[in-house]
Structures are given as C-alpha cells and as structure tokens.
Structure 1
Amino acid sequence: MTEDPTDTTTPGWLRTSRDGAVLTVTLDRPDQLNAQTPDTWSALADVWASLDDDVRVVVLRGSGRSFSAGLDRSMFDTGSRTGGGLGELVRLPVEEAQERIRGYQAGFRWLRSPGVVSVAAVQGHAIGAGAQLALACDLRVFTDDAQLRLPEVTLGLVPDLTGTSTLVELVGYARALELCLTGRAVGAAEAQAIGLATAVVPRAELDDAVADLTAALLAPPVGASRAAAALVRSAVRNDVGAQDAAERAAQVQRLHEIVSGP
C-alpha cells in the first residue's frame, strides 16, 4: 500500500490518516487521557460520512498513555446549560434529549458498518465512553497493562453509547450484567479470556500487532471478506433458518462473481 501523506486533525481532538485501504482514527488529547466530549462523537460520525468504498479497515487508537479515560469532566456538571453536558440534557424535553443521545450513538455504531472491519488498539485505560468506543469496534488488541471499565452505574447513570448491546454480544448476558452493575475494571488477561480482547501484547509491540492483524484482514479478496463479515454480524441476531438462508444467498452471489470475473 502507498501511504497517503494526508494527516487531518478534526474538531473534537480527532486525527485521521489514510494508508491505502486502512484509515487510522486517533483520539488526540493525550494531556487529558483522550477524554471525550460531544464534539468527539460528532467528529467520529463525520468520519463515517466521509468514508469511501476503498476503505476496508478502520484502526481506532488513542494517543499517549491511555486509550480514553471516558467523558471529559466538564460533562458531569449538572448545572451546565450548554456544551452538551449532562446538565443540558436534563433540561431538554425528554424526546429531544433522547434524540440528542441518538446522535451521540451514531459516532460509535458506524464502526460495525458494512464494508469495513474496525480494530481498536487499546493501551492503558478504556473507561466509560472509552470502553464503549473500544467495544464498538469489531476487534480489540490490548496491551498487557490495559484495563476496561464501565463505571456508569456507580455514578447513577447507565452506559448509553451502544455499550450494552456490544458487550452482551462479546461476553454473554451474565458476564455483561456483572460488569455493568459492578463497574469493576477488567484487566488485559481477563479481557482475552472472556472474549473482550482479540489479542494481548506488550505495549512496545502494540503497533506491530495491529499492523499484522490489519494485513491479515486485508489478505482475502475484498468481496469475500465483506460478505463473510456481513454473515458473522447477522448471525448475532438471526435465527438459524434466517442465517442459513443468508449463507446460501451470499455463497451463490460469490460463485457468480467468481465465474463472471471482475
């Protein structure tokens, strides 16, 4: 692949760079442990809107010593009437507040959109919104010092950035319930054992491990890769009959495309 020299910084402390079929999205606020705000989520949604069909892998990273420590502290000011914080949300009509959160969720949900596979490179802490951002990705590579935590319930809140559905998909109902209700930290070794982490590596090897995984994801033909990813995603919610039908349809389409050629 030929590296695109374009390295763009967007509002919300988000930096993007493109290397052939790989788009790297970096949370770039290391002095605040990549704490997130609504501007971050809006910028993530804008990345989705700008994707082209040639992008096959999206790598999500955090600069500095942590992936993301979660919400910016200013978001917890319940007296605030502006800036997208909790105070502003509570003063909105219920329907409008829910619609505002739906917009926030869009910055997370696209990471499992058709056509791309997303990989989170997680070092240090992934807390709250940071944990949910890592969970939103298809795959996660952890450093051996990484910790993931969903503390929202301990603060009187709930995970609301797509984290509950992605967590249940990864670890099952009982484990997801326990992690959400206790808010305890999950270290890298446990994360790998229960299916949260695809791989765990020393911090010094994170870049190489992500590069190796990305290369493996790009190795199969693009059509087959995208069709297989779509099948695995649909299997989470389809019943057996529907999933068998989806496999049949996808295979016949693949055979026709192989025979007809590019």
Structure 2
Amino acid sequence: MTDHVDEWAEAGVRLDVEGELATVTLCRPERRNAQSPALWRALAAIGSELPGTVRVVVLRAEGVSFSAGLNRQAFTPEGIPGEVSFIDIAKGPNGDAIIAEYQEGFLWWRRPDLVTVAAVQGHAVGAGFQLALSCDLRVVAEDVQFAMKETALGLVPDLTGTKPLVDLVGPARALEICATGRWVHAEEAERIGLANLVVPASELHAAASDLAAALLASPRDAVIETKALLQGAGARTLEEQRAAERASQLRRLRDLAGIAE
C-alpha cells in the first residue's frame, strides 16, 4: 500500500488506517477537491487494497468544500492533461469501458463487509455529490450544499449516483434535483433523507468519528448480515424478506452457539 501513497496524494486523496477504522481524505483543498480520472483510479485502488481488518471507512475532505465536482479542464477541447478527453470518449470505440473504469472508484463503498460514512461540508457538486451518495451514511455540516449539475451541462450523472439518490428521495424528487441542478441545503438534505445528521461545521469530523465508533461497537458479523438484509429489502417481497431474515438469524444463532455450518 505504501508504494502508492505519493501517487494517491498527487491524485488528491490520502488513506489512513487505524485498526478497524480507515479514513479516506480528499486532500486538494486549494482546488476545492475537484475530481479527475486519476482521483477515481486512486479511489478504486484504495478500495481494492484496504486491509481485511477494516470494518468502517470514513470519507472526509480538507478545506471549505467537500468536492466542487469534476475538474473544469475536462470540459475543454483538450481535456485534462494525460487523460482521455470527452471528445475522444465520444468518438472512440471504448467509451463504455472507460466510463466503467471511472465508476469503479465509487462502487466499493457499498460493499457488504464495510459501513461507510461521508463527512460532508461546503459544496458537494456533481461527482462530489455522487461520491457522498456512494457511502452508506452521510453526516453533513450546516453549510453543506449538494447539487447535481451534470444535466445542466448537457450530460447525465454517470458515477453511480442515480440509484442511491432515487433510493433515498424517490424518483420524482431525484428527477427534480438532477434536472434543475438546484442546491440542496442542510435542512432539506436531512428532511428528505440525504443526510443522517446535521451538525455545525466545527463539529463535523468529531460527529463522524463518534458515529464510526458507535458502528464499531456492534459485532462485525451482525452488522454485515444486517446491512445485507437492508440492502436487499427493496428488491424483495415481504415473504422473501421474511425468509431472508430467518436465514440470516439462523446463521447468527449458529455462529453464537459455535455450531459449524
């Protein structure tokens, strides 16, 4: 993992691991943590290289903004230096594969063996909003401003943010937020389910740390089983969910009783 520290830092992200807790920090505050394909590759690599002992991951950001979204150079004809430009993606035969690679940095946060918490302050725009949505839980500062600006730019949100947004607020509200590109502030974010907790900006990281500690206090396998039950609930009928609960509980009881499967 240490081999990649400088590369990740250059891309704008840092990983710190302490026992069962990992902290991923967006660390380009001078650029308002604007994102790039290099950052997305670094995030994907971090997910693949997390030690198996990690149970909870906190995502935080330095500076006044969580992430101002995609680096604006991506929208110029030449694009971001060293990266495939939007024009080349549109013209070339590998567009689907390129976007799929970008998405990898946003997928692992939903893994059933982890609980992930985003601590969000200031602006979380576009790719920044979608990164926060990738996490299981969101603790936000009172100054938070979410916005999905892709549609206003003639694009769509494509970094895996549409499903969690719909799951959290419903399709009608999600459409309105995306199609207008408007700002969603802290009070509304908490009211419609985007935020689990709103705190003063000065208390944001302490609140996220407290939540992480509370999550770590429960037995790991019980949390994994519970997360899996909740993640699958929307796709199951009541009878299917009842059956899933029974099967999960029997696994827990057998484990607690020391009975091998």
Partner of 1:116: 114
Partner of 2:28: 29
Partner of 1:207: 205
Partner of 2:14: 15
Are 1:153 and 1:183, in contact at CA under 8 Å, matched by a contact in 2?
yes
Q: Distance in 1 between matches of 2:73 and 2:35?
A: 10
Query: How far did 1:8 drift?
Result: 4.0
| 2:68 is equivalent to residue 69 of structure 1 | yes
TM-score (norm. length: structure 1): 0.93
Q: Distance in 1 between matches of 2:38 and 2:17?
A: 22
After TM superposition, list the pairs within 5 Å mapping 1:144-159 onto structure 2.
Answer: 144-159=142-157
Residues 203-249 of structure 1: CA deviation (Å, up to 9, x unaligned): 11111101110111111111111111111111132232322221111
Q: Distance in 1 between matches of 2:176 and 2:238?
A: 28
Unaligned runs of 5+ in 1: 1-6
Partner of 1:236: 234
> Which SS does the other structure have where 1:26 is aligned?
strand
| 2:45 is equivalent to residue 56 of structure 1 | no
- Tell me which amino acid in the other structure corresponds to 1:243: Q
Query: How far did 1:79 drift?
Result: 4.3
Partner of 2:91: 91
Query: How far did 1:52 drift?
Result: 2.5
- Tell me which amino acid in the other structure corresponds to 2:177: L
Q: Distance in 2 between matches of 1:87 and 1:216?
A: 47
Query: How far did 1:261 drift?
Result: 7.4
> Which SS does the other structure have where 2:58 is aligned?
strand
- RMSD, aligned CA: 2.0
Partner of 2:189: 191
Residues 150-190 of structure 1: CA deviation (Å, up to 9, x unaligned): 01111100000011101001111111111111110000110
Are 1:145 and 1:203, in contact at CA under 8 Å, matched by a contact in 2?
yes
Q: Distance in 2 between matches of 1:160 and 1:239?
A: 29
| 2:134 is equivalent to residue 136 of structure 1 | yes
Partner of 1:248: 246
- Tell me which amino acid in the other structure corresponds to 2:244: A
> Which SS does the other structure have where 2:11 is aligned?
coil
Are 1:77 and 1:87, in contact at CA under 8 Å, matched by a contact in 2?
no
Partner of 1:4: none
- Tell me which amino acid in the other structure corresponds to 2:60: R
Q: Which moved more, 1:232-241 or 1:247-256?
A: 232-241
Instruction: Report % sequence identity.
Output: 49
- Tell me which amino acid in the other structure corresponds to 1:22: L
Are 1:53 and 1:115, in contact at CA under 8 Å, matched by a contact in 2?
no
Q: Distance in 1 between matches of 2:174 and 2:75?
A: 25
- Tell me which amino acid in the other structure corresponds to 1:168: V
> Which SS does the other structure have where 1:25 is aligned?
strand
- 1:90–1:222 CA distance, 2 compared to 1 (3 A): same
Are 1:15 and 1:26, in contact at CA under 8 Å, matched by a contact in 2?
yes
- Tell me which amino acid in the other structure corresponds to 2:86: L
Q: How many residues align?
A: 256
Partner of 1:38: 37
Residues 22-77 of structure 1: CA deviation (Å, up to 9, x unaligned): 10001111110000000111001101110232111111111111100000011112
| 2:256 is equivalent to residue 258 of structure 1 | yes
Q: Distance in 2 between matches of 1:244 and 1:121?
A: 33
| 2:156 is equivalent to residue 165 of structure 1 | no
TM-score (norm. length: structure 2): 0.93
Are 1:139 and 1:198, in contact at CA under 8 Å, matched by a contact in 2?
yes
Unaligned runs of 5+ in 2: none
Partner of 1:3: none
